[in-house]
Amino acid sequence: MTAPAERTVARKSVAAASFGNAMEWYDFSVYAFFASYVAANFFPSGDPTAALLGAFLVFGAGFVARPLGAVVIGMFGDRRGRKAALVLSIAAMGLGTLILAAAPPFAVIGVGAPILLLIGRLLQGFSAGGEIGGAAAFMIEHSPADRRARYAAWLQASMGISNLMSAVVGLAITTLLPREAVAEWAWRIPFVLGLLIIPVGLYTRRRLPEPEVFERERDRSGGWLSPLRTLFAEHPGALGAGFLFSVLWTVAVYALVIYPTTYYKDPAVGLRFTDQQAFLATVVGNVVLIAGCLVSGRLADARGARWVIVAGSAALLVVPLPGLLLLHAAPSTAVLVLVQVVLSATVSVFVGAAPATLPMAFPVAVRSTGMSLSYNLAAIFFAGFTPALMTWAVRTLSVYAPAFWVAAGAVASLTATPTLFRHITTVTQPSHHSDSVT
């Protein structure tokens, strides 16, 4: 295949994978954005804080299923193919979203309501656990070596697109409909919209070609558990470094991009912004996040991923706290949007280069499983329960808890980065020099 033809196939494959990934994470982020309405319908305790914590604990419970999804869908992708894994993950997400969209509230079926909510979230978590590894492996294996980071950056950019879609839908619903209608039934509209789009994602993913490098190098000799055995036997160091690296990746997104929609309007925080102001800031911030991810990917191709990763980690160590201090000192709509723009731009530097970095620490034969497992183990402890932890922390420790939480993640990333890139060098050394992302 000629170079122009390869790039055409790569662009089409990355576009299709990104669309499906955006649909996956749209359904995931909608829950976080509408958590206060979910809380009122499924956890009517009379205490808004307790209800919100309940909703966020169920949100976090979805992350408990992610390592299972990472292992099952990751091994499925390493054995049966990247395309098959991507189809499986989006189908599971669709089923989970259907349960969330249709589950009756507590007032109708009592304790069965939060149980259904939990089942839906577990299915979504299972799906998301396998999605990121399969999509990342698919993207970088379809990409030319000199454009790997800019193509892989669409993985995180598509997550930003999903957040943007969720925020736009949220802004429209809370602006056009009375609050009573939103609280009673209209909060379900975003989930229904997600269901309508999922068949398109299924169709496009079924038409994707398998990456040639995967077909050449995948291991067909072992059984279904072969990728997992190989991973723990031969690449435990890459798993450990990938886990620490992923702490910042997950924490930064959930603490500074997802959770702020709730943070800005939480009475305990003291900012007292409206739904519309919070969603507006999220919309603008996610536009910046999408653009920033694509710029970060290009910088990683041009300057080297290591430089971008270190710069992004350092920025996340120091930028969030001054941003929140400014917002609390001058809580206006203009300052709110400015702060969210700065936070989103800072996050984009790191997360834009991360999708081209972490998968390269694992050989092709175990790449989907290795990427999925290291990322999702971090997601359980440092992302899934971030909204619930922050809801508690801003009340008992400090309203600046999100900044401190991200700073801890930045320290983990800076600690792990040298080891991670040593593994990347080891994996890519036998191949062409252009395969290196360092």
Q: How many domains does the chain have?
A: 1
* Within-domain flag for 136: yes
* Within-domain flag for 90: yes
Q: How far apart are CA 372 and CA 71, in angstroms?
A: 7
* Within-domain flag for 56: yes
Can you give the pLDDT at residue 296? 92
Can you give the pLDDT at residue 410? 95
* Within-domain flag for 434: no
Can you give the pLDDT at residue 310? 94
Q: Report the sign of the C-alpha dihedral through residues 217, 249, 237, 74, in that order.
A: negative
Can you give the pLDDT at residue 275? 78
Please state, in angstroms and as integers, the Cα–Cα distance from residue 293 to each residue in 111, 155, 299, 337, following that order.
Answer: 42, 9, 10, 19
Instruction: Check: CB of residue 136 under 8 Å from CB of residue 355.
Output: yes
Backbone phi and psi for residue 105, each to the nearest 5 degrees, phi listed first: -75, 175
* Within-domain flag for 183: yes
The DSSP call for residue 384 is I
Can you give the pLDDT at residue 327? 92
CATH number at residue 366: 1.20.1250.20
* Within-domain flag for 437: no
Q: At what angle do helices 48-64 and 35-42 cross, to 10 degrees?
A: 110
HSE (side-chain half, CA atoms, 13 Å) at 334: 1
Q: What is the pLDDT along the chain (438 residues), one digit of tens a residue?
A: 445 555 666 666 677 667 666 766 777 677 777 877 888 888 877 777 788 778 877 877 777 777 777 777 777 766 666 667 777 777 788 888 888 888 888 888 888 888 888 888 888 888 777 677 667 777 777 677 777 787 888 877 887 787 778 778 877 888 888 888 888 888 888 888 877 767 776 666 666 666 666 566 555 555 556 667 777 778 788 888 989 999 999 899 888 988 888 888 888 888 888 878 888 888 889 889 989 999 998 998 888 888 999 999 999 999 999 999 999 998 888 999 999 999 999 999 999 888 888 888 888 777 777 887 888 888 877 776 777 788 888 888 999 999 999 999 999 999 999 988 888 887 666 544 444 455
Give the residue from 260, 102, 131 showing the smallest Cα distance to 205.
Answer: 131
The domain of 148 spans 3-206+224-424
For the entire predicted model, the pTM comes to: 0.74
* Within-domain flag for 435: no
Q: How far apart are CA 35 and CA 183, in angstroms?
A: 11
Can you give the pLDDT at residue 435? 45
Residue 217: partners with Cβ closer than 8 Å, 6 or more residues away = 363, 364, 365
Instruction: Quickly tell me which residue has 């979805």 as its tokens.
Output: 62
Can you give the pLDDT at residue 408? 93
* Within-domain flag for 95: yes
DSSP codes, 324-370 = HHHHHHS--HHHHHHHHHHHHHHHHHHHHHHHHHGGGGS-GGGHHHH
